[in-house]
Structure 1
Amino acid sequence: MTTTANTSHNIVFLDRDSLIANVRRPAFSHSWTEYGATAASEAAGRLAGASIAITNKVPLRADTLAQLPDLKMIAVAATGTDIIDLAACKERGIVVSNIRDYAYASLPEHTFALILALRRNLLAYRADVQAGQWQKSDKFCLFDYPITDLAGSKLGLLGYGALGHAVARLGRAFGMDILVHKRTPVEEEGIRSVSWDELLETSDVLSLHAPLNEQTRNIIGSTELARMKRSALLINTARGGLVDEAALAAALTTGIIAGAGFDVLVKEPPPEDNVLLNLHLPNFILTPHIAWASTQAMQILADQLVDNVEAFVANKPVNVVG
């Protein structure tokens, strides 16, 4: 725990170790306390007397908020706010701000790293080289796994916010046709709005960029996977709960779809028995929630986090959720 004493606002950062960046101190009178990590059961005690809470992944539910009469603002050090009971915050007059549009390079680049690795079967070929298969070949190269170009294929996007836009731009640079499904039709040159049915049934690569809520939870399950092309890839760098993990494991094991690249799981960190964690297939890539985490993106996040806090104290709150 690190504490800097001052007056006026009492700020507590519950999980400072989740952000590898320089977090400047706000330009107003305050005290600052930060903890490397905080268990959910410790949050109420550590936030006692705080007027501003900063959290990345420490949940703040109604029962915790009820114990914090001094709390006026929650600054979420991330885009997703499903860890916060927004209804309880509204009832108590607590302003919640989140981070927006900070990983506009990092996450799209990671998305395409997954797509390219899968479409070109890099994991399988790397394993063959390590196993000595190339060295034993009677040809100058190996043709054991299919390699397919991105050019001319259809990139389907569920959600079309800032990150969806950035992924679409990269897709167009690779010569892909861009299909988008969102609640309001997209009127943009080079983008085609499609129904949910068409998105599922025609996308060669389906990339998820939607928030997690009751409408989107498990939006991809066994029924949806069965409707996708057998040659299709499913990419999820958004939220783990968008996809039924058991259904995905079954689809990959039985060849319902060609492959998947995931950076997120329903529970993080995952338990040892997570079905995707134990899915050792060359057509599945799982990374540990790092698509957002380039050095540049984390510093943008840290700067915006303090901007949000300063705007709230100036009575001009920004990036307000709910």
Structure 2
Amino acid sequence: MQIVVPEFMEEDILRTGLTGCDILYDPGLVDRRDALLAVMAGADAVIVRNRTRVDAGMLAAAPRLRVVGRLGVGLDNIDLEACKARGVAVFPASGANDISVAEYVISSAMVLLRGIHAMPSRLAGGDWARGALMNGREICGKTLGLVGFGSIARETAMRALALGMEVIAYDPHLAPEGPHWGLKTGRVRPVGLEALLAGADVLSLHVPLTEGTRHMISAAALARMKPDAIVINAARGGVVDEAALAGALRQNRLAGAALDVFETEPPPPEDCARFQGLANVILTPHIAGLSQESNRRVSEVTVASVRKHLMAEAL
């Protein structure tokens, strides 16, 4: 059986977990689409991150393909309907990077509230700037608003509650009463979206990108937020209207933002230019779910799913 892996993962876990398979591991193959489609002709499985498009073109080039392993949880780059029609199973690494994303959200919130993320370069340049930073804010007592309350949001909520935050959440897919709102260290209060926007000191997004969530954090939504609030998006690019967000930051209608995901990745220069010169923004290249620990967990979960499926089909 042939396994094609066109993006990076923990190679030792890949080769140990799929012993006996013919493995083509080439993390740069994602950038050579024609070459990728050519090798897919003999592939029984493909393991991808978020950049490889598993679409009709790939499926047509891969007549033997039986399973797609996704090194992460977002499925925007995989045509699920086309895979289903072809009988190709898709396995995301659910839960494997929850902790990493939750820690990114909380750490970004703490840094932005204190206003210290730009300080090392300022101080190295001779700017003591103590007066400008002596009124930073504590995270304790602030309200965290979660848009979506899936597994990553719940990990985030537990950490926020442990730090003394109040936590509110909006998730139209969950009943307003139920055990999902109760966590080990406290309780999350379900609210409507309007109440969440108005009440959050820190707004964190935890929803997939769909037609219903695209630009749900729009100029109008941002206008309903407190002027000293912070927005964090480590979910999916496109959920936030980036131009509207940049405008709100420049006009001091928001205190800060952290973006780990973008509508186009990598973002073109004109999109990046929106945030140039802003001292109250953290921009990172889609790495919230990546850490030494989560990279191994994600690889282990994905390899186990692919192996189990191939073995089951072989019986």
Structure 1: how far apart are the matches of 2:217 and 2:204? 11
Q: Does structure 2 conserve the Cα–Cα contact (< 8 Å) formed by 1:245 and 1:276?
A: no
Structure 2: how far apart are the matches of 1:163 and 1:253? 30
Q: Does structure 2 conserve the Cα–Cα contact (< 8 Å) formed by 1:43 and 1:60?
A: no
Q: 1:94 offset after TM fit, Å? A: 0.8
Q: Which residue of 2 aligns with 1:32?
A: 23
* Cα distance per residue 1:166-213 (max 9 Å; x no partner): 111111111110001112135325110000111111101001111222
Provide structure 2 residue ranges, at least 5 long, that are not aligned to the other structure. Answer: none
After superposition, residues 121-136 of structure 1 pair within 5 angstroms as 121-126=115-120, 128-134=122-128
Q: Does structure 2 conserve the Cα–Cα contact (< 8 Å) formed by 1:14 and 1:54?
A: yes
Q: Which residue of 2 aligns with 1:274?
A: 271
SS at match of 1:240: coil
Structure 2: how far apart are the matches of 1:305 and 1:286? 28
Q: Does structure 2 conserve the Cα–Cα contact (< 8 Å) formed by 1:22 and 1:302?
A: no
Q: Which residue of 1 aligns with 2:6?
A: 14
TM-score by length of 1: 0.87
Q: 1:13 offset after TM fit, Å? A: 1.0
Number of residue pairs the alignment of both structures matches: 301
Give the alignment's Cα RMSD to 1 decimal: 2.0
Q: Which residue of 2 aligns with 1:43?
A: 36
Q: 1:247 offset after TM fit, Å? A: 1.0
Q: Which residue of 2 aligns with 1:310?
A: 307
Structure 1: how far apart are the matches of 2:117 and 2:303? 40
SS at match of 1:180: strand
Q: 1:36 offset after TM fit, Å? A: 2.1
Asked if 1:155 corresponds to 2:144, the answer is: yes
After superposition, residues 106-185 of structure 1 pair within 5 angstroms as 106-126=100-120, 128-134=122-128, 141-143=130-132, 146-183=135-172, 184=174, 185=176
Structure 1: how far apart are the matches of 2:11 and 2:252? 42
* Cα distance per residue 1:104-154 (max 9 Å; x no partner): 3222122122111110010354454334343xx8xxx42456311211111
Q: Does structure 1 conserve the Cα–Cα contact (< 8 Å) formed by 2:112 and 2:280?
A: yes
**Aligned residue type for 1:80:** G
Structure 2: how far apart are the matches of 1:65 and 1:29? 24
Structure 1: how far apart are the matches of 2:292 and 2:253? 37
Q: 1:214 offset after TM fit, Å? A: 2.0
Q: Does structure 2 conserve the Cα–Cα contact (< 8 Å) formed by 1:11 and 1:53?
A: yes
2:60 to 59, 62, 66: 66
SS at match of 2:117: helix
Q: Which residue of 1 aligns with 2:282?
A: 285
What percentage of residue pairs aligned between the two structures are identical?
Answer: 33
Q: Which residue of 2 aligns with 1:250?
A: 247
Q: Does structure 2 conserve the Cα–Cα contact (< 8 Å) formed by 1:13 and 1:35?
A: yes
The farther-off stretch of 64-73 and 112-121 is: 64-73
The farther-off stretch of 22-31 and 213-222 is: 22-31
Structure 2: how far apart are the matches of 1:116 and 1:27? 41
